[in-house]
A and B are shown apart, each in its own frame.
Chain A
Amino acid sequence: MTTATQSTGGGPSGGALDRPSGSSLAEVVDTILDKGLVIDAFVRVSLVGIELVTIDARVVVASVDTYLRFAEAVNRVDLAQSGGKGLPEFLEGAQETGAEKKVKGAAKGAIEAAKDTIRDWNDDDGGRRHQPDGGRWRDREA
């Protein structure tokens, strides 16, 4: 069973590729609501209308909201260190953090924390109703 939990193991030997055993719910949604054969292209008559309750949490990557989030991200960075602490040093710090995590199962480890990718899904149960193409799913049986 695919689950929303993710591997948070860290590879000590430079394994930078995270291979989770399952996708997060957000990743599942990206795939099965956006991709795959669209049955409307093949069937017109005997489609049955059914209400879809899914969460449309996709981020518009160029909006005032994202700009404000970027500005906040800048605020979180200590500008005084810019230039003083170069990228190599920063990399070193990041690798130390990664190496502190325990290896879990997979030979190729992970350095990504779980909270990041499922951040957008905290409102899992309060999701908006989402009907693609304004009523595609209506009953087409006469």
Chain B
Amino acid sequence: MSPRNKPKGEQQGWYVYGIVEHDVEVLPDTRGIGDPPAPVETVVSGDIAALVSRVAVDQPIGERGDLLAHEDLLDTVALDVPVLPLRFGAVMSSRDAVAQELLEPNHDLFADSLHELSDEVQYVVRARYVEEALIREILDEDPDTAELAEQLSGKSMESTRDAQIRLGEMIGVAAEAKRRADTDALIEAIGPLVAATNVRAPTHEQDAAHVAMLVDRDRDAEWEETLGDLARTWSGRATVRLLGPMAPYDFVTTTQTT
């Protein structure tokens, strides 16, 4: 181990962001996580390389700046070259360990995956119901729920708590069914136009759809128009956000073991 590679104290580690092809160059002013943000380097092994930066291991990580820096680095890289993003929080003891224990034993798997993803980036579609429209839709469609809502109308939450919970559950079950139907509609519209889709778990009770998709990095696209059409169809009923392009976080998890 060269002196440069040796961490100065016992409390240094190497944070690993992701895997790229061996010839990826990191611009000198690229910074990663930490305070102050640490310079990002590569550790090369064969045809692949890891994006890494020094990290002090006696300090907790995961503050806002760290999370944004991790994502920002990977998403910026993904704009130009294929990258296999690691889940946030991977730290190894040395650059040698990154090469010998992460890159070398998994070289072919990572190289193949990079090759497979060479032309693709990820986008995430998040649709969220407009609250009032959602409630009205459900009450219009289900007389039982509407009747209970009518009975509870104007009553205090405290004095009718059990019935309120029952009403909320009925709304929740109906919203869940709508989410499934709307997610299916989204997949049906977009699915044939993209390389892959991944339905994510809802992160909010008023989510209408939460879907990641893998699309061609350069080709301008029919899927975007189709998504715009769908968003217009849902206008007033649900808002649709399109996030990306980003690294293919949702499409590298197949080898996960527990």
- Indicate if the CB atoms of A91 and B235 lie closer than 8 Å: yes
Indicate if B21 sits at the interface (CB-CB under 8 A). no
Q: Which of B41-49, B84-92, B187-195, B213-221 contacts A (4 or more CB under 8 A)?
A: B84-92
- SS class, residues of chain B in contact with chain A: mixed
* Residues of chain A contacted by B13 (CB below 8 angstroms): 48, 50
Q: A32-B88, A35-B253, A87-B137 are in contact. Are A25 and B169 (CB under 8 A)?
A: no
- Indicate if the CB atoms of B97 and A46 lie closer than 8 Å: yes
- Indicate if the CB atoms of B105 and A42 lie closer than 8 Å: yes
* Residues of chain B contacted by A39 (CB below 8 angstroms): 16, 86-87, 90, 92, 102
- Indicate if the CB atoms of A71 and B235 lie closer than 8 Å: no
Nearest CB in chain B to that of A39: its residue: B90
- Across the interface, A35 reaches (CB within 8 A) one of B67, B87, B92, B205, namely B87
- Across the interface, A69 reaches (CB within 8 A) one of B19, B134, B205, B228, namely B205
- Count how many pairs of residues, one from A and one from B, have CB atoms less than 8 Å apart in the complex: 276
- Indicate if the CB atoms of B126 and A29 lie closer than 8 Å: no
Indicate if B133 sits at the interface (CB-CB under 8 A). yes
CA distance A70 to B149 in the complex (A): 11
Indicate if A100 sits at the interface (CB-CB under 8 A). no
- The size bracket of the interface on A is 35 or more
- Indicate if the CB atoms of A37 and B92 lie closer than 8 Å: no
Indicate if B184 sits at the interface (CB-CB under 8 A). no
Q: A35-B250, A46-B101 are in contact. Are A71 and B68 (CB under 8 A)?
A: no
- Indicate if the CB atoms of A59 and B146 lie closer than 8 Å: no
Provide 8 A-B residue pairs closer than 8 Å at the C-beta atoms, listed in order of the A residue: A2-B71, A14-B232, A30-B203, A42-B105, A43-B101, A73-B135, A79-B149, A91-B236
> Which 4 pairs between the two chains have the least Cβ-Cβ distance?
A67-B168, A46-B97, A35-B249, A94-B236
A residues whose Cβ falls under 8 Å from a Cβ of B: 1-4, 14-20, 23, 25-43, 45-54, 58-59, 61-62, 64, 66-77, 79, 82-83, 87, 90-91, 93-95, 98, 108, 110-112, 116-117, 120, 124, 129-130, 132-133, 137, 141
